[in-house]
Chain A
Amino acid sequence: MASVDVKGVSKNYGNITALKNVSLSLDTNGCIGILGPNGAGKTTLMKLITNIIKPSTGEILVNGTNVSNDPSTALRTVGSIIEQPEFYTYLTAYETMMFVCRIKGGTKEYCMSEIDRVSEITEVKGFLNRKTGTYSRGMKQRLALAVALINNPDVIVLDEPTFGLDPKGMSDIRNALNRIREQRNSIIILSTHLISEVKELCDRVIIMDEGSIVYDSEVDSVDKSLRVRFYEVPADGLNSIANEPVIEDGGKTAIFRVGKEVPNYMIIRDLMSRGAKIRDVEESSGIEEKYLEIVGRGKD
């Protein structure tokens, strides 16, 4: 079983502390979503795990090996997309993948079959023999995912893998990630701004703020326990429904926020008794509620 252990890691850039004494232990296959506003330390954590930067204090172990001291061993079973990677422009996707596969210890024959496998998943087969300098952003992102998946890594580190992609590109990457996640062969660490991505792909959610981990929970439990509904009804002097006060009064309509603990029938009964009609109901995810509660509404 793969493992990632972040032990008391801090990262300073001059006087700025990007990460403050972060500890984290991951030893179960599945997807871990990392959410947080800009500057929360998500990308810094991703870069530290993949040896792009080195910790100021603390250590990071992948499968028990220190990443900074022995990257050749620690990163052998790690695949990653960090920020928006670029490739050597005069090499083809095939050559790029072959290079990474061979560096990770694959034989030529094995790498050829691996390239076949990952290019199927990420749909890069059509442009395998084109030089990467001619690629669009979306093609580069798919290639980055293919490179991250080559050699069946135990640990996959993905930093905003759908950033900058059009809706089709985002959907393609998510579908590919879903297929990988379903196999449950690896630990996927997914940093993203998109709560929907974490909900769709991840089993565990971590929220970071100002360089620290401030929340860590199973996605299902937080999503169900904190789910809320928003009711939009004609104002008509309504100040509350089921004892929940109005949160927004637009003059003609009022919006009420009701927690999961208040059953739907109570709301409907209350509104009917007062002759009010529901114009719209929206349900927000529990993760979103938790995120906004932690990082503050209106922030980022």
Chain B
Amino acid sequence: MVQETGKFGIVVSQYFRNYYRSRSFYLMLVISLLISGLMTYFSLKYIGNLHVTFGGVSFSSLSSSLKESAVLYLWAFVLSYLPVFSAVFFGSPAISSEIENKTAYHIFPLPIKRSTLLFGKFTAAVAVSYIIVSIYTIFEIISYVILFGSFPGIVFLYSYLLLLLFIISITAFTFLVSSIFNKNMYAYITVFLLYYLIFNALYIILDFLYNYNAFFLLSEAASIIERVFIDINTTVPGSATISLNGAGSGPIGIAAIVMVIYAVISIAGSLILFDRKEVK
């Protein structure tokens, strides 16, 4: 007899197959390749003009390590949008589509725990998002090697690991939103509104009115992916400061904890909601 752990593997492979054959996956693939191509072009062609971004300091006059950090920062800055779009495409309809598309009639009567179904689908969604961002990361590494003649160092690895953690937490967050609704469109819109409007509005209000850094927002925690290279600190209202050093272990730890908390709470919430989900 197949145990629940065995069923988990079967569920993951089933949903992974359904995801990577979907139009959403190919759309994200195209977007990832397009952004990767643009960033590669930018890196190789206009690398000498980076002083525009770095406060008038000529890029050629920067130290070697700072140049490397600057390039990786820019790649990571652009990258931070990709997991969000990927999670929206794969996570937002994850639960709601089972109801809207009536596939719930096919899977709910199966002899499997809803938690196994949810974790299996979640794992598959995270895996396809990893593929999407990994394509970008491969382009990033190639560009880096061409520019600097070596592979990026340990900080790049930190950034990549934080990126993987962010994908888990943002996907979990979209699963939670998806499990609230029975219509995909509501889930899509809600995720976008929460992440890009509500989170940003909260950040600005707390920063400008109360001089408080909203470190607990997922969008703020996600900024650590690029801040490990160059730490742009906006804790002082209206006067963002730039530290040319990367964020230290303190901010990295806090951001990682925030992302883990989002992931755990979101998955727990979606599990409770999915377990109670009924097709009326």
Q: Which residues of A approach B to under 8 Å, CB–CB?
A: 13, 47, 50-54, 71-76, 78, 80, 82-91, 95-96, 99-100, 102-106, 131, 144, 147, 157
Contact = CB atoms under 8 A, between A and B. Distances in A.
A95 B105 contact: no
Given A90-B21, A103-B2, A82 B278 contact: no
B101 A75 contact: no
Nearest to B10: A102
Contact of B108 (A52, A84, A91, A99): A52
A75 B105 contact: no
A175 to B, nearest CB: 23
A246 to B, nearest CB: 46
A78 B103 contact: no
B241 interface: no
B111 A73 contact: yes
B106 A72 contact: no
Interface string B120-161: 000000000000000000000000000000000000000000
6 contacts: A47-B278, A53-B280, A72-B112, A84-B102, A88-B18, A90-B17
Nearest to B116: A72
Contacts of A85: 102-103, 105-106
B17 A82 contact: no
Contact of A88 (B1, B2, B14): B14
B105 A105 contact: no
A136 B171 CA distance: 33
A105 B1 contact: yes
B111 A104 contact: yes
A47 B12 CA distance: 26
Given A102-B2, A102-B10, A147-B106, A53 B279 contact: yes
User: Which 10 residue pairs spanning A and B have beta carbons closest together?
Assistant: A50-B109, A90-B21, A85-B105, A75-B111, A76-B111, A53-B278, A86-B102, A88-B18, A82-B105, A52-B108
* Secondary structure type dominating chain B contacts: loop
B101 A86 contact: yes
Contacts of A87: 103, 106
A120 B102 CA distance: 26
B102 A71 contact: no
A86 B110 contact: no
Contact of B279 (A52, A72, A88): A52
Contacts of A102: 2, 7, 10
Contact of A91 (B1, B14, B104, B110): B14
Given A90-B17, A103-B10, A105-B2, A13 B280 contact: yes
A90 B18 contact: yes
Nearest to A85: B105
Interface residues of B, number: 27
Contact of B112 (A103, A144, A157): A103
A37 B80 CA distance: 55
Contacts of B111: 71-76, 78, 103-105
Given A51-B108, A82-B109, 17 more contacts: A47-B279, A50-B108, A71-B112, A72-B111, A84-B105, A85-B103, A86-B102, A86-B103, A89-B18, A90-B18, A91-B18, A91-B21, A99-B10, A103-B2, A103-B10, A103-B11, A103-B110
B89 to A, nearest CB: 14
Contact of A72 (B4, B14, B102): B4
Contact of A51 (B101, B109, B276): B109
A86 B21 contact: no
Given A84-B102, A88-B103, A75 B14 contact: no
A54 B17 CA distance: 30
B51 interface: no
Given A53-B279, A72-B113, A103-B111, A83 B18 contact: no
Nearest to B22: A90
Contacts of B18: 88-91
B14 A52 contact: no
A210 B17 CA distance: 43
Interface in B11-32: 11, 14, 17-18, 21-22
A71 B2 CA distance: 14
A86 B109 contact: no
Contact of B14 (A51, A80, A89, A95): A95
Nearest to A81: B105
Nearest to A87: B106
Q: Which of A54, A73, A90 neighbours the largest number of chain B CB atoms within 10 Å of its CB?
A: A90
A53 B18 CA distance: 25
Q: Which residue of A71, A83, A96 has the most chain B CB atoms within 10 A of its CB atom?
A: A71
B199 to A, nearest CB: 32
Contacts of A103: 2, 7, 10-11, 110-112
Contacts of B113: 71-72
Nearest to B9: A102
B236 to A, nearest CB: 50
B242 to A, nearest CB: 46
